[in-house]
Structure 1
Amino acid sequence: MRTALRSRPIRTLTITQFLLEVQFWFPIWLIYLLDLGFPLTTAVLADGVFRIVSVICEFPVGLVADRIGRRRTYLALAGATVLTFTAITQIDSVRVLFGAWVLWGVLWALSSGAASTYLYELCAQDELDIDPARAFGLVRAVGNGSVLVSLLAAGYLYEVDHRLPFTVTAVLAGVAFLLAYTLPEIAGSRVVATLGSVLADIRAAAANPRVRRAVWLGGLLLLFGWSARILFQPLALELGLSAQVTGWMYGVFAAASVFGGLVAGYVRPVHRPTALATAFLLILAALVATNQVDWLGPFLFLPLMGFGYTLGLTVLEVFTNEVTPRAVRATIFGVVACVGGVGIAVARPGLGVLAAQHSTSFAFGIWAGVGVLLVGLAVPGIRRIRADAPVLPPVAER
């Protein structure tokens, strides 16, 4: 990781990701809408629209990202973040609310793979010969550190002014845009292509079993690990945790995720199957344990889940970049997010209903049962991951 830090582009991207990964909005967005006077039903519908838009946009946004180049895509991500969170601060009607949430859905799709593909190709063209795994571990850890800081600060900012968490997010994204503007473009990353060549690239990627494996495992991990987060706040409410203690619960979860990113940076190709199996099993174990002893969940089992999820996600990001041709790299990340997103759109509301009608521990148990199936589906793909990375030509030639 020290080698990665010696590279100016990698250092700049790491700082930029810290600014873009903040989640001041996460603990308070629903409270914000309720305080603005919107009924809970309207807020839930807006979240549903957000999910639908993000899933629909994943594939086409990925196609566009592969055509315009990594740096332009990353600048678009930072600029769209400024626009989205500025719009959220201006919500004063249902029309503006849904417009902002649609914009947020597009932003969410744009973020799938934008930093990952750019980072991988920066490593490949850097004169320091940077190990992508170390760089990814560093950036993932720093990003989760940003999440940790912002989650702990969100409530305090909200007490000062209800719009302040979103305003700060927009301002930090503006700084990120200025920093990203100083980053280099990847040689040959802007592709001038016809519809026929695009379809040919997609067919070639789809025919590659390693790419299919990366999409399958990435979608399963995203579905398994992300869906369970809908139960965090209901668990805190059921256990009677105060707002401050709930904030620390999220903070410990983020801290464990930082550690997961750092550990992932030291996972060599030969150990990837073990790391991915560990990731899936840690999430499953955390779900089962929370179902059985829910009061230990917030500060023991949920952090275990965060560690496992980030470990697996980071390892799969590196693997997906390695096996995917540059011409469709962002597109494939969009497909991964779409595969997982379709399941998430069903799982999250379903788990919320189970928690409301029965109990949160019951919902954890049901998702653990589903998790046994998901882990079973992941096992063949994990076992087939080759220890050696594919030999790829220089970035400019891919």
Structure 2
Amino acid sequence: MRTALRSRPIRTFLAIQFLLEVQFWFPIWLIYLLDLGFSLTTAVLADGVFRLVTVACEFPVGVVADRVGRRRTYLALAAMAVLTFTAISQIGSVGTLFAAWVLWGVLWALTSGATAPYLYELCARDPLPVEPTKAFGLARAVGHASVFLSLLTAGYLYEADPRAPFAVTAALAAVALLLVLTLPEVPRPHAPTTLAAIAADLRAALARPAVRRAVWIAVLLLVLGWSARILFQPLALELRLSARTTGWMYAAFAAASVLGGLAAGQLSRRRRRAALATAFLLILGSLAATSQLPGLGPFLLLPVMGFGYVLGTTVLEVLTNEVTPSATRAAMFGLIAGAGGLAIAVARPGLGILVEDHPVTLGFAVWALVGVPIAALALRTVRRI
């Protein structure tokens, strides 16, 4: 990891990721909308629009990203963050609310293909050179450290001014935008522009068994690990945790995620299979254990889940970049996020409805049972990478 930190472009990239990954908004966005006078129904509908826009845009945005270049896509990501969070800080009507949430959906989709391919290609072209696994591990750790710190301070910002969390997020994104301008451009992929040629490139990439395996494992990990997060807040409510304690619960999850990124950065190629198997088993075991021992969930079992999820996703980011042709890298990450998002769009509301009238432990148990075939399919594929 020291080599990665000696590279100026990689250091700059890590600083940008820290600025863009802040989540001051995460604990308070619903409270913010309710305090502005919007009904819970309106807020939920806006969230639904956000998720529909995200799923619809993941793959098309990835295809476009492969054609406009890595640095330009990263610039667009930072610029969209400035625009989106500035718009959220200025919401004053239902129309501006939904417009801001549509922007947010596009921004969320843009993150799938903007960061991982650019970081991988920066590593490949660095004169040091930089081992991608180390750089990706650092990037994951830095991103989750940013989440950790922003979660701890979000409440204080909101108490100072309800619009402050979003305004600060926009300001940090503006700084990130300026830093992106200092990054080098990497050669643009020789990507075709006609729909027929684009489709042919994608078919050719997916015809590679290594690409299909990487995409398949990544989708399964995304569905298993991300869907379960809908149960975190109900668990805190069922355990009667205070708002402050709930904040610390999320902070513990973020801290464990930092460790997951650092651990992934230390892995050699021959340990990838073991790391991916460990990731799925840690998530599955945490789900099952929380269903039986909910009191251990907030500060032990859920952080273990976060560690496993980030360990697996970091390994898969590097693997997917390695096996995918440059001209389709962003599109593949968009495909993973879009396909996973479709499944999550069914799983998360389903789990939310289930625990509305039943103990949250049942939700964890049901998802653990669903996770058994998901993990089995993943582990079967992991053996062949």
Scaled by the length of structure 2, the TM-score of the pair is: 0.98
C-alpha displacement of 1:95: 1.2
Tell me the residue number matched to 2:221. 221
Answer whether contact 2:30 2:43 (CA < 8 A) is retained.
yes
Q: Is the 8 A contact 1:24 1:153 kept in 2?
A: yes
**Inter-partner Cα distance in structure 1 for 2:4 and 2:197:** 35
**Residue 330 (structure 1) aligned with residue 347 (structure 2):** no
| Structure 1: tracts of 5 or more residues without a match | 386-398
| Kept after mapping to 1: 8 A contact 2:61/2:113 | no
Q: Is the 8 A contact 2:288 2:364 kept in 1?
A: yes
Residue 101 of structure 2 corresponds to 101
* 1:248-259 paired onto structure 2 within 5 Å: 248-259=248-259
Native 8 Å contact 1:219 1:339 kept in 2: yes
Which letter maps to 1:229? R
Q: Which residue of 1 aligns with 2:374?
A: 374
RMSD: 1.0
Residue in structure 2 matched with residue 351 of structure 1 by the alignment: 351
Q: Which residue of 1 aligns with 2:194?
A: 194
Identity value in percent: 68
Paired position in structure 2 for 1:241 = 241
Deviation at 1:273, TM superposition (A): 0.9
Partner of 1:59: 59
- Paired with 1:142 and 1:343, the residues of 2 have a C-alpha distance of 28
> 1:110 corresponds to which letter in structure 2?
L
How many residue pairs end up in the alignment? 385
Alignment correspondent of 2:292: 292
- Once structures 1 and 2 are overlaid, which stretch shifts more, 70-79 or 376-385? 376-385
CA distance in 2 between counterparts of 1:202 and 1:189 reads 14
Tell me the residue number matched to 1:304: 304
Q: Does the 8 A contact of 1:69 with 1:190 survive in 2?
A: no
Report the Cα distance in structure 2 between the residues aligned to 1:11 and 1:283, rounded to whole angstroms: 31
Tell me by how many angstroms 1:190 deviates.
Answer: 6.8
Q: Secondary structure at the match of 1:384?
A: coil
Listed one character per residue, the Cα deviations across residues 369-393 of structure 1 (whole Å, up to 9, x for unaligned) are 11112101212211111xxxxxxxx
Alignment-mate amino acid for residue 131 of structure 2: D
Amino acid corresponding to residue 67 of structure 1 in structure 2: R
Match of 1:153 in 2: 153
**Structure 1 letter corresponding to 2:177:** F
2: distance between equivalents of 1:378 and 1:222?
11
Partner of 1:392: none
Structure 2 segments unaligned to the other structure (5+ residues): none
Give 1:289's aligned amino acid.
A
Distance in 1 of aligned mates of 2:227 and 2:32? 22
CA distance in 2, matches of 1:72, 1:173: 15
| Cα distance in 1 for residues equivalent to 2:187 and 2:74 | 15
In the other structure, the counterpart of 2:181 is: 181
Using the size of structure 1 for normalisation, the TM-score is 0.95
- Superposed CA deviations along residues 323-377 of structure 1, whole A, max 9, x for unmatched, are 0000000000000001110011111111111111102111111111111121012
- In structure 2, what residue type is equivalent to 1:23? Q
Matched, 1:118 2:127: no
Runs of 4 or more above 6 Å deviation:
none
Equivalent position of 1:388 in the other structure: none
The answer on whether the counterparts of 1:69 and 1:191 sit within 8 Å (CA) in structure 2 is no
Q: In the alignment, what sits opposite 1:68?
A: 68
